[in-house]
Amino acid sequence: MLIPRTAIFVRRGDEYLLLKGAATKRLWAGKYNGLGGHIEQGEDVLSSARRELLEEAGITAELWLCGTIIVDAGDVGICLFVVVGENPQGEVKSSLEGTPEWVKLEALPHLPVVEDLPILLERIHRISIGNPPFSARSFYKDEQLVVLFAD
């Protein structure tokens, strides 16, 4: 069984809008990640991403599906739809989820980030709108994260 979720990465040149998780979050408190969340019943992927982006950052953007990742999380996994946003509109605002911040790619090694973020952003940064979406799966082997992209 898979739970559908979105991961949104709005970009502006070599900067990405990332969410620094609120201190009250159960998972990834204080760590940088993409925006996103569950796809609600009755939503398609892009509608869910638009809603999450507005709820978590207060902005809109032109969104497109960049890839999918099947995350092996045990009995119930996650089907993660990776969405990229361009041409952001509006003023970025914080939410209960955390604080959105524009982060340059070269700053990632110096920030507390979720484990797969550098891997995903490196792949996303090479993709342009109109390219076919990537497909990947992630899992842990010997307590090490493995992300395999289908080529």
Tokens representing 11?
Answer: 């970009």
Question: Token match 């996303």: residue?
Answer: 124
Question: pLDDT-derived band of residue 151, with 50, 70 and 90 as boundaries?
Answer: confident
pLDDT of 51 reads 98
The pLDDT tens digits for 101-143 are 999 999 999 999 999 999 999 999 999 999 999 999 999 999 9
SS3 of the chain: CEEEEEEEEEEECCEEEEEEECCCCCCCCCCEECEEEECCCCCCHHHHHHHHHHHHHCCEEEEEEEEEEEECCCCCEEEEEEEEEEEEECCCCCECCEEEEEEEHHHHHHCCECCCHHHHHHHHHCCCCCCCCEEEEEEEECCEEEEEEEC
Neighbours of 107 (CB within 10 A): 16
The predicted pLDDT at position 26 comes to 82
Q: What is the pLDDT of residues 38-92, one digit of tens each?
A: 999 999 999 999 999 999 999 999 999 999 999 998 889 999 999 999 999 999 9
3-class SS of residue 76? coil
